[in-house]
Amino acid sequence: MLKKRIIVCLDVKDGRTTKGVKFKENKDIGDPVEMAEEYYKQGVDELVFYDIMASAAGRGPILNLISRVASRIFIPFCVGGGIGSIDDIRDTIASGAEKVSLNSQAVKNPNLIKEGAQIFGKQCIVLGMDAARDSAMPSGYRVFINGGRVATDLDALEWAEKAVELGAGEIVLNSIDADGTKNGYEIPLTRLISEKTNVPVIASGGGGKVEHLAEVLTEGKASAALIASMVHSKEYTVGGIKTELNALGIPVRL
Protein backbone atom coordinates (compact mmCIF):
# COMPACT_ATOMS: atom_id res chain seq x y z
CA MET A 1 0.00 0.00 0.00
CA LEU A 2 1.35 3.42 -0.95
CA LYS A 3 2.27 5.54 2.02
CA LYS A 4 0.37 8.80 2.44
CA ARG A 5 2.46 11.96 2.53
CA ILE A 6 2.32 14.82 5.02
CA ILE A 7 3.36 18.11 3.44
CA VAL A 8 3.87 21.45 5.18
CA CYS A 9 3.04 24.63 3.29
CA LEU A 10 4.83 27.92 3.83
CA ASP A 11 2.93 30.87 2.36
CA VAL A 12 5.45 33.64 1.83
CA LYS A 13 4.78 37.37 1.51
CA ASP A 14 7.58 39.96 1.31
CA GLY A 15 10.12 37.28 2.26
CA ARG A 16 8.33 36.24 5.47
CA THR A 17 6.04 33.29 6.26
CA THR A 18 2.43 34.42 6.58
CA LYS A 19 -0.90 32.78 7.46
CA GLY A 20 -4.43 33.91 6.75
CA VAL A 21 -7.98 32.57 6.79
CA LYS A 22 -9.79 32.02 3.46
CA PHE A 23 -6.87 33.80 1.74
CA LYS A 24 -7.39 37.01 3.78
CA GLU A 25 -6.03 38.81 6.87
CA ASN A 26 -2.54 37.40 6.57
CA LYS A 27 -0.28 37.70 9.61
CA ASP A 28 3.53 37.43 9.74
CA ILE A 29 4.49 34.23 11.58
CA GLY A 30 8.23 33.87 11.02
CA ASP A 31 11.28 33.29 8.87
CA PRO A 32 10.65 30.74 6.07
CA VAL A 33 14.23 29.43 6.09
CA GLU A 34 14.21 28.65 9.83
CA MET A 35 10.68 27.21 9.66
CA ALA A 36 11.56 24.96 6.70
CA GLU A 37 14.55 23.56 8.59
CA GLU A 38 12.42 22.93 11.70
CA TYR A 39 9.76 20.99 9.74
CA TYR A 40 12.47 19.00 7.97
CA LYS A 41 13.85 17.99 11.40
CA GLN A 42 10.31 17.04 12.50
CA GLY A 43 10.14 14.52 9.63
CA VAL A 44 7.89 16.20 7.05
CA ASP A 45 7.76 14.30 3.73
CA GLU A 46 7.77 17.36 1.48
CA LEU A 47 7.70 21.12 1.72
CA VAL A 48 5.65 23.50 -0.41
CA PHE A 49 6.63 27.17 -0.64
CA TYR A 50 4.15 29.65 -2.14
CA ASP A 51 4.97 33.28 -2.86
CA ILE A 52 1.37 34.42 -2.50
CA MET A 53 1.88 37.92 -3.95
CA ALA A 54 4.12 37.18 -6.94
CA SER A 55 1.44 36.70 -9.63
CA ALA A 56 -0.69 39.60 -8.42
CA ALA A 57 2.41 41.82 -8.33
CA GLY A 58 3.49 40.62 -11.78
CA ARG A 59 6.92 39.39 -10.74
CA GLY A 60 8.80 36.11 -10.79
CA PRO A 61 9.89 33.82 -7.94
CA ILE A 62 12.32 34.99 -5.20
CA LEU A 63 15.26 32.81 -6.23
CA ASN A 64 17.66 33.74 -3.42
CA LEU A 65 15.09 32.78 -0.78
CA ILE A 66 14.33 29.50 -2.59
CA SER A 67 18.03 28.57 -2.66
CA ARG A 68 18.41 29.41 1.04
CA VAL A 69 15.51 27.10 1.92
CA ALA A 70 16.78 24.36 -0.42
CA SER A 71 20.22 24.44 1.23
CA ARG A 72 18.69 23.49 4.61
CA ILE A 73 16.30 20.66 3.66
CA PHE A 74 16.88 17.31 1.95
CA ILE A 75 13.35 16.30 0.95
CA PRO A 76 11.22 17.09 -2.12
CA PHE A 77 10.63 20.84 -2.29
CA CYS A 78 7.90 22.42 -4.43
CA VAL A 79 7.78 26.15 -5.21
CA GLY A 80 4.88 28.22 -6.53
CA GLY A 81 4.10 31.86 -7.16
CA GLY A 82 4.92 34.00 -10.16
CA ILE A 83 6.31 31.15 -12.31
CA GLY A 84 5.16 32.29 -15.72
CA SER A 85 7.73 31.03 -18.24
CA ILE A 86 10.04 28.14 -19.05
CA ASP A 87 12.94 30.31 -17.86
CA ASP A 88 11.18 30.80 -14.50
CA ILE A 89 10.75 27.02 -14.18
CA ARG A 90 14.41 26.44 -15.09
CA ASP A 91 15.63 29.10 -12.64
CA THR A 92 13.44 27.75 -9.83
CA ILE A 93 14.69 24.18 -10.31
CA ALA A 94 18.28 25.45 -10.59
CA SER A 95 17.76 27.25 -7.25
CA GLY A 96 17.03 23.91 -5.57
CA ALA A 97 13.34 23.09 -6.06
CA GLU A 98 12.39 19.60 -7.27
CA LYS A 99 8.93 20.70 -8.44
CA VAL A 100 7.16 23.87 -9.51
CA SER A 101 3.53 24.65 -8.80
CA LEU A 102 1.78 26.44 -11.67
CA ASN A 103 -1.43 28.18 -10.67
CA SER A 104 -2.50 31.61 -11.98
CA GLN A 105 0.11 31.56 -14.75
CA ALA A 106 -1.11 28.16 -15.99
CA VAL A 107 -4.68 29.46 -16.23
CA LYS A 108 -3.42 32.43 -18.28
CA ASN A 109 -1.18 30.21 -20.43
CA PRO A 110 -2.10 26.48 -20.27
CA ASN A 111 0.69 25.70 -22.74
CA LEU A 112 3.16 26.38 -19.92
CA ILE A 113 2.09 23.06 -18.35
CA LYS A 114 2.64 21.19 -21.62
CA GLU A 115 6.02 22.77 -22.39
CA GLY A 116 7.20 22.41 -18.79
CA ALA A 117 6.29 18.70 -18.73
CA GLN A 118 8.01 18.08 -22.07
CA ILE A 119 11.24 19.81 -21.01
CA PHE A 120 11.51 18.94 -17.29
CA GLY A 121 9.26 15.86 -16.98
CA LYS A 122 5.74 15.50 -15.61
CA GLN A 123 7.07 14.78 -12.11
CA CYS A 124 8.33 18.40 -11.94
CA ILE A 125 5.04 20.07 -12.95
CA VAL A 126 2.36 20.48 -10.29
CA LEU A 127 -0.99 22.12 -10.92
CA GLY A 128 -1.84 24.44 -8.03
CA MET A 129 -5.58 25.08 -8.05
CA ASP A 130 -7.54 27.47 -5.82
CA ALA A 131 -11.22 26.56 -5.89
CA ALA A 132 -14.34 27.75 -4.08
CA ARG A 133 -17.92 26.50 -3.95
CA ASP A 134 -20.12 27.87 -6.73
CA SER A 135 -23.42 26.20 -7.64
CA ALA A 136 -23.29 27.80 -11.10
CA MET A 137 -20.40 25.50 -12.10
CA PRO A 138 -20.94 21.90 -13.34
CA SER A 139 -18.80 20.39 -10.54
CA GLY A 140 -20.08 22.90 -7.95
CA TYR A 141 -16.64 24.58 -7.70
CA ARG A 142 -15.08 27.53 -9.52
CA VAL A 143 -11.35 28.18 -10.07
CA PHE A 144 -9.84 31.45 -8.77
CA ILE A 145 -6.46 33.02 -9.54
CA ASN A 146 -4.12 35.72 -8.17
CA GLY A 147 -4.17 34.39 -4.62
CA GLY A 148 -7.92 33.74 -4.64
CA ARG A 149 -8.74 37.33 -5.55
CA VAL A 150 -9.92 36.86 -9.17
CA ALA A 151 -12.73 34.53 -10.28
CA THR A 152 -12.32 32.68 -13.60
CA ASP A 153 -14.87 30.97 -15.88
CA LEU A 154 -13.17 27.62 -15.24
CA ASP A 155 -14.89 24.68 -13.59
CA ALA A 156 -12.59 22.99 -11.07
CA LEU A 157 -13.01 19.44 -12.40
CA GLU A 158 -12.73 20.44 -16.07
CA TRP A 159 -9.56 22.43 -15.37
CA ALA A 160 -8.00 19.58 -13.35
CA GLU A 161 -8.70 17.10 -16.18
CA LYS A 162 -7.32 19.48 -18.81
CA ALA A 163 -4.16 20.20 -16.79
CA VAL A 164 -3.45 16.46 -16.38
CA GLU A 165 -4.00 15.96 -20.11
CA LEU A 166 -1.46 18.75 -20.76
CA GLY A 167 1.12 17.05 -18.52
CA ALA A 168 0.64 18.04 -14.87
CA GLY A 169 2.02 15.18 -12.77
CA GLU A 170 0.32 16.15 -9.51
CA ILE A 171 -2.43 18.49 -8.24
CA VAL A 172 -2.37 20.62 -5.10
CA LEU A 173 -6.03 21.32 -4.48
CA ASN A 174 -6.58 24.39 -2.32
CA SER A 175 -10.08 24.92 -0.95
CA ILE A 176 -10.63 28.65 -0.47
CA ASP A 177 -13.72 27.97 1.68
CA ALA A 178 -11.78 25.74 4.09
CA ASP A 179 -8.44 27.60 4.05
CA GLY A 180 -7.16 28.43 7.54
CA THR A 181 -10.50 27.53 9.20
CA LYS A 182 -9.13 24.33 10.85
CA ASN A 183 -12.64 22.85 10.36
CA GLY A 184 -11.65 20.05 7.98
CA TYR A 185 -10.84 19.64 4.31
CA GLU A 186 -13.28 20.01 1.41
CA ILE A 187 -13.97 16.27 1.12
CA PRO A 188 -16.45 16.23 -1.83
CA LEU A 189 -14.13 18.26 -4.07
CA THR A 190 -11.03 16.29 -3.08
CA ARG A 191 -12.74 12.96 -3.72
CA LEU A 192 -14.13 14.18 -7.07
CA ILE A 193 -10.73 15.32 -8.38
CA SER A 194 -8.97 12.22 -6.96
CA GLU A 195 -11.44 9.85 -8.65
CA LYS A 196 -11.57 11.63 -12.00
CA THR A 197 -7.82 12.16 -12.55
CA ASN A 198 -4.97 9.65 -12.59
CA VAL A 199 -2.35 11.73 -10.76
CA PRO A 200 -1.71 12.20 -7.02
CA VAL A 201 -3.98 14.81 -5.42
CA ILE A 202 -2.73 16.79 -2.42
CA ALA A 203 -5.56 18.14 -0.27
CA SER A 204 -5.01 21.66 1.03
CA GLY A 205 -7.04 23.95 3.26
CA GLY A 206 -8.84 23.20 6.50
CA GLY A 207 -6.62 20.79 8.43
CA GLY A 208 -7.10 21.46 12.15
CA LYS A 209 -6.78 18.06 13.81
CA VAL A 210 -5.47 14.61 12.96
CA GLU A 211 -9.01 13.30 12.30
CA HIS A 212 -9.33 15.81 9.46
CA LEU A 213 -6.20 14.40 7.80
CA ALA A 214 -7.41 10.84 8.33
CA GLU A 215 -10.75 11.73 6.71
CA VAL A 216 -9.28 13.40 3.61
CA LEU A 217 -6.68 10.62 3.12
CA THR A 218 -9.38 7.92 3.29
CA GLU A 219 -12.82 9.32 2.34
CA GLY A 220 -11.32 12.11 0.23
CA LYS A 221 -8.95 9.64 -1.48
CA ALA A 222 -6.09 12.17 -1.36
CA SER A 223 -2.51 10.94 -1.80
CA ALA A 224 -1.22 13.56 0.61
CA ALA A 225 -2.47 16.13 3.10
CA LEU A 226 -1.01 19.61 3.16
CA ILE A 227 -0.94 21.35 6.54
CA ALA A 228 0.01 24.80 7.78
CA SER A 229 -1.95 26.21 10.73
CA MET A 230 -1.75 22.94 12.69
CA VAL A 231 2.03 23.05 12.93
CA HIS A 232 2.57 26.80 12.64
CA SER A 233 0.52 27.20 15.84
CA LYS A 234 2.83 24.62 17.51
CA GLU A 235 -0.29 22.72 18.60
CA TYR A 236 1.09 19.70 16.70
CA THR A 237 4.43 18.48 15.39
CA VAL A 238 4.79 16.60 12.11
CA GLY A 239 6.08 13.54 13.98
CA GLY A 240 3.13 13.64 16.39
CA ILE A 241 0.65 13.82 13.52
CA LYS A 242 2.28 10.85 11.78
CA THR A 243 2.26 8.77 14.97
CA GLU A 244 -1.47 9.42 15.42
CA LEU A 245 -2.26 8.63 11.76
CA ASN A 246 -0.28 5.40 12.02
CA ALA A 247 -2.29 4.43 15.10
CA LEU A 248 -5.46 4.99 13.03
CA GLY A 249 -4.17 2.50 10.46
CA ILE A 250 -3.17 5.06 7.84
CA PRO A 251 0.17 4.17 6.21
CA VAL A 252 2.70 7.00 6.65
CA ARG A 253 6.51 7.24 6.67
CA LEU A 254 7.52 7.19 10.33
Q: d(Cα 183, Cα 174) in Å, to the nearest integer?
A: 14
Q: Which of 51, 88, 130, 179 is catalytic?
A: 130
Would residue 134 show up in a list of annotated catalytic residues for this protein? Answer: no
Would residue 14 show up in a list of annotated catalytic residues for this protein? Answer: no
The separation between CA 209 and the C-alpha centre of its own chain, rounded to angstroms, equals 18
Whether 10 and 49 have beta carbons less than 8 Å apart is answered as yes
Q: d(Cα 140, Cα 151) in Å, to the nearest integer?
A: 14
Q: d(Cα 160, Cα 195) in Å, to the nearest integer?
A: 11
Element counts in the chain: helices (H) and strands (E): 11, 12
Q: d(Cα 17, Cα 131) in Å, to the nearest integer?
A: 22
Q: d(Cα 132, Cα 117) in Å, to the nearest integer?
A: 27
Active-site residues, by number, are: 11, 130
